[in-house]
Structure 1
Amino acid sequence: MSTPGTQIDPLDGVRILDLFAGPGGLDVAAHFLGYKSIGIEWDRNACETRYAAGLPTIHADVSVMRQTRFDEIPQSVDVLAGGPPCQSFSVAGRGAGRAALETVKEFIRRLVSSEEESRIDEDLHSLNVDPRTALVLEPLRWLLKAIETDGRDPYRVIVLEQVPAVLPLWDVYAQLLRSGEGRLRGVKYDADCWELKTEQFGVPQTRTRAVLVARLVGSGAVSPPDPTNRPFDVRRRGSNTGQTEAFQTKSSAKDTWVSMAKALDAADALPESSVDMSRFRTEGDTKFFVVSNYGSNGDPKKRGRRLSSEPAFTVTGKVSRNKIFRTQADFDENRFDRFTIAESGVLQTFPHNFPWSGNDQAQQVGNAVPPRLGMHVLSSALSGTAPSKAQLADSTTWREVSPELTARLRDIGCGDRTRCPEGSHKVSRARRKPAL
C-alpha cells in the first residue's frame, strides 16, 4: 500500500505490450483480468481515449518504436499482443492484402531466415500493395527484436488477432514459432490459431476473428478458449421477413447468444448509466430493428436487418451510419434513430461509462477488439482458464480516473510531442462561414 503523497508509477508491473492498441480493447480485457498493459498507438484520438481511461500508452509508430525506442519498453513485459490494421485484408475493404497473401507468407519466412532485413524492407516497399498490408509482419519483427536484444528475454506469451482472411498468415507464424529455426535461435513456442466467433463468448455482435496464441515450450500447450454461448445463424431467414413475428421469437436456451436488447438494457440498468433505452421501450420491452450501412452477407446492394432480439451486425467504424427503427411504420416513413457512442461501445462490450475521447469516436469503437472476447483469449493464453464470473460481471463498469493520472499518462505517451508521429497533433482550422 502506498503512503499519502506517494506517486505510483503507472508502468510498474506492466506485463503486456499491446501493439496497434487502438482505444484499448485488449488493455481493457487485461485490466479486468488483473494484468497491467502498455499500448503503442499511432492515432492521437485513440491515445486521448486511452489517457482518459487510465491506460498506459506510447503515442508512436509501431515500426519506428521498434527501430529506435525499443529500450523504452519496460523490462517486466513478457506478453506480446496486438491486432495489426486490418483494412487491406477486410472483406469490407478492397482486399489488396487478401490478394497478396502468398507474397506476405513468403516475407514471413524470409524474416525468420538469416536474410538481411534491409533487403526484405526494400522488396516490401517495391510491392504495389496497400502499405498497411506489411504491418501484419510487425509482431514477428518485435518478437525477433526481443530475442536478438541483449538483456531481454523472449516473450513468454504471444496473442495476435485479425480478420479471418489473415488466418493463413497466422498459420505460417505458428509453424515457424514451433520450429525455433533461423533468427528464432532455437526459441520454440507451442502455437496454434483459430477462427473465433464473438457471439460465442457473450459479445452481443456477430464478428469473426482470426486469433493466434503462442506460449514458450514448457509453459503448457495452447488450446482455443471454450465458447460460452451458441453461435448465431446469420442465414436463418431472408432479410425481409416481417418484424412482428420475429420480435416474438425468444430463445430460452441457457447459453444462447446475447441480444442487442439484453446487452443495452443491462447497461441501462446500471447506476449513472450512459445508456438510455427508454426511446425504444414499449410496454416494458425494448424493441427495434437495425438496418445496416453495409450489405447483407457481403452483398453491398442489399441492406441487412437485425432485430433487437438478435446480436448486432459487426460493429465497424461506420456504426453511426446504421439506422435504427422502432417499428415497420417508422421504416416505411424513414423515421430512424442512431446508436450513441456509448451504446456502440456496449455492443463491443466496453463498459457503459468508458471515457471515449478525441475525434472519430465511432471509428475508434469499430477498430477495437471486443474486450469480452479479449478476456476469454487472454485468460486462456495466460492461465489456461476462462475468466471468472466475477471478472466478467465487473467488466460492465469502468473505474474512475483522476485528471492527474490522465495528465501523467499523456506526459508519458506524448511528452513534448517531438517524438510523436509527424503531424499527428495538427488541428485543422474550422472554415469560416461566408458572409451573408
Structure 2
Amino acid sequence: MHPAQIVDLFAGPGGLDVAAEKLGVASVGVEWDSAACATRRAAGLETVEGDVRCYGPAVFPNADVLAGGPPCQTFTVAGTGAGRRALDDVLTFVDRMVAREDREEIAKDLAKLEDERTGLVLEPLRWALEAIDDQDKPYRAIVLEQVPAVLPVWEAYAKALQNEGYSVDCGLLGTEAYGVPQTRKRAVLIARMGNEPVELPAPTHRTYRKGVPRNSGASSLKPWRTMGDVLDRESQFLVISNYGTGGDPKARGRRGSWEPSATVTGKISRNRVVSLDGTELDRFSFSEAGRLQTFPADYPWSGKDVGQQIGNAVPPRLAMHVLCAAFGWKPPTEELLDSLKTWKTEEPVEEGIKTEEQQVIAVAV
C-alpha cells in the first residue's frame, strides 16, 4: 500500500513523524503539550495543538493511516500504577466500544476512572471505529506503541480490529534488535485492512545481554549498536543511572560506551557521565540524548522540558521498521536508515492556530 497521510495521535516531538518523513509519507500530528509542539514546528512537521479527545477522523479527511502512542504514565512501573489497576476496566471499555454502546455513556464512565489519563489509551480505538461507522472510510493501516504493560490492551484491540476486517499482529519489541543504541521494550500493534497477513518487523540486530559479547549470537543478525557508535565523544565513558537497581538508590545502574544505553527517560540529564578513571564528564546534551533515541543529530529541540520530550518519544529508527511492516513494504534499507542521522533545514513553522475551532477549520481546509 502507498499511504496518502498518517494522522499521529499523541504525536510528541515527532519520533514517528520523522520516520514517516524519511520514508516519503506525509503526516500530521495531534499533540496537546506546547513544548513538544514547539519542537515539531521548529522541525517543520505539520501539527495540530490540542486534545486528541476533541477531534476525530472527520477533521483529517486525507489521512488513511492512524498512528498513536497514548500517554503511558499510569501504566508504567515508575508511575502510580492507576492504569494497571484499571486494566480490567479498560478491557471492558474495549468490549463496550466494539459493541457500539452509547458513546456519551462510555465517556461518562471513563471520567470516573482513578486517573483520567488511563482512558486515553482507548482513543485510537475510538478513532478507528468512527472512521468505519461515521466516515465509511476505514483506515488502511493502524500503528500503535506503548510501554509493555499495555500489551493486554493491544491484544484486545487486535481481536476488535480483526472483527472489523483487519489483519493484525502485536507483541513486545526490543529497540536494540532494530539498531537503536538503547535497550527499551515497547508494546507494538500493527494492523492492515484486508486478508493479507501482517507481521511485526523481523529483528535486524542481536538482543543485548549484560556480559554477553557483541559478536556472539545469530550470525544472520548484526551486532547491537553502542552509545559510542552514535556519539562523538573522544574516549570511552561510563553512564551512571539516576535510578537505583533493585530498589536500592545506592546501587546505580551502569552502562559503558561500548554497550547500548539503558532506557532513555525524561530524567536522562540527571545521569552522570564519567571517564573510565572516574573523572566527571559533561552530561548528555539534548542532541546526544536524541541520538540515543535515533533522532537526527541536528534535530531542532525546542520549548521546555526537552529531556522529557526525548524520553517520551518513539525512536525514529524503530518507527521506520514498524511503518514499513504495517504498509507491507520491505524493511528499510541502510541508506534510508542512515538518512535519520541529519534533519532537513527549513524555516520554523509559524506558531499554530490556538483555538480548537480554528484548528479544525484549518486542518479541514
- Common fold: TM-score over 0.5: yes
Could you tell me which of 64, 80, 86 is aligned with 2:54? 64
1:314 is the counterpart of 2:263 = yes
| Alignment partners' CA distance in 1, 2:146 and 2:248 | 22
Instruction: Give per-residue Cα distances to partners, 1:193-240, cap 9 Å, x unaligned.
Output: 01000000000000000000111124x211110111000114x49xxx
1:121 is the counterpart of 2:107 = yes
SS state at 2:231 partner: helix
Deviation at 1:101, TM superposition (A): 1.1
SS state at 1:122 partner: helix
Deviation at 1:419, TM superposition (A): 2.7
Could you tell me which of 119, 128, 131 is aligned with 2:116? 131
- Counterpart mapping for 1:249-260 below 5 A: 251=215, 255-260=222-227
Q: Work out whether residues 250 and 309 of structure 1, in 8 Å CA contact, stay in contact via their aligned partners in 2.
A: no
Could you tell me which of 204, 213, 224 is aligned with 2:181? 204
SS state at 1:294 partner: strand
| Alignment partners' CA distance in 1, 2:208 and 2:258 | 12
Question: What is aligned with 1:54?
Answer: 44
SS state at 1:374 partner: helix
Q: Work out whether residues 33 and 391 of structure 1, in 8 Å CA contact, stay in contact via their aligned partners in 2.
A: yes
SS state at 1:107 partner: helix
Could you tell me which of 147, 166, 169 is aligned with 1:163? 147
1:228 is the counterpart of 2:214 = no
Could you tell me which of 284, 288, 313 is aligned with 2:237? 288
Aligned residues: 353
Read off the aligned partner of 1:258 and give its amino acid letter.
R
Question: What is aligned with 1:428?
Answer: none
Could you tell me which of 211, 214, 217 is aligned with 2:191? 214
Deviation at 1:336, TM superposition (A): 4.4
| Alignment partners' CA distance in 2, 1:300 and 1:189 | 46
Deviation at 1:76, TM superposition (A): 2.2
Q: Work out whether residues 198 and 328 of structure 2, in 8 Å CA contact, stay in contact via their aligned partners in 1.
A: no
Deviation at 1:71, TM superposition (A): 3.3
Question: What is aligned with 2:342?
Answer: 397
Question: What is aligned with 1:371?
Answer: 316
| Alignment partners' CA distance in 2, 1:317 and 1:77 | 30
Instruction: Give per-residue Cα distances to partners, 1:20-48, cap 9 Å, x unaligned.
Output: 00000000011111111000000111111
Question: What is aligned with 1:329?
Answer: 278
Deviation at 1:251, TM superposition (A): 4.1
Deviation at 1:348, TM superposition (A): 0.3
Could you tell me which of 96, 99, 105 is aligned with 2:91? 105
| Alignment partners' CA distance in 2, 1:250 and 1:212 | 29
Question: What is aligned with 2:361?
Answer: none
Larger strand proportion of the pair: 2
1:94 is the counterpart of 2:80 = yes
Q: Work out whether residues 214 and 223 of structure 2, in 8 Å CA contact, stay in contact via their aligned partners in 1.
A: no
| Alignment partners' CA distance in 2, 1:44 and 1:177 | 32
Question: What is aligned with 1:344?
Answer: 289
Instruction: Give per-residue Cα distances to partners, 1:346-365, cap 9 Å, x unaligned.
Output: 00000000011111111111
Read off the aligned partner of 2:276 and give its amino acid letter.
T
Question: What is aligned with 2:62?
Answer: 76
Question: What is aligned with 1:359?
Answer: 304
RMSD of the TM alignment (CA)? 2.0
Q: Work out whether residues 59 and 420 of structure 1, in 8 Å CA contact, stay in contact via their aligned partners in 2.
A: no
Please list every run of 5 or more consecutive structure 2 residues that lacks an aligned counterpart in the other structure.
359-365
Deviation at 1:300, TM superposition (A): 5.1
Deviation at 1:118, TM superposition (A): 1.4
Instruction: Give per-residue Cα distances to partners, 1:352-385, cap 9 Å, x unaligned.
Output: 0001111111111111000000000001111342
| Alignment partners' CA distance in 1, 2:250 and 2:87 | 27
| Alignment partners' CA distance in 2, 1:215 and 1:21 | 20
Please list every run of 5 or more consecutive structure 1 residues that lacks an aligned counterpart in the other structure.
1-12, 181-187, 238-248, 266-276, 422-436
Question: What is aligned with 1:179?
Answer: 163
Q: Work out whether residues 292 and 303 of structure 1, in 8 Å CA contact, stay in contact via their aligned partners in 2.
A: yes
Read off the aligned partner of 1:111 and give its amino acid letter.
M
Deviation at 1:99, TM superposition (A): 1.7
Distance 1:34 1:303, change over 3 A: same
Read off the aligned partner of 2:100 and give its amino acid letter.
S
SS state at 1:211 partner: strand
Q: Work out whether residues 60 and 420 of structure 1, in 8 Å CA contact, stay in contact via their aligned partners in 2.
A: no
Deviation at 1:319, TM superposition (A): 0.8
Distance 1:250 1:82, change over 3 A: closer
Q: Work out whether residues 16 and 319 of structure 2, in 8 Å CA contact, stay in contact via their aligned partners in 1.
A: yes
Instruction: Give per-residue Cα distances to partners, 1:172-202, cap 9 Å, x unaligned.
Output: 100111123xxxxxxx111120100000000
Question: What is aligned with 2:362?
Answer: none
Read off the aligned partner of 2:179 and give its amino acid letter.
G
Question: What is aligned with 1:5?
Answer: none
Q: Work out whether residues 214 and 224 of structure 2, in 8 Å CA contact, stay in contact via their aligned partners in 1.
A: no
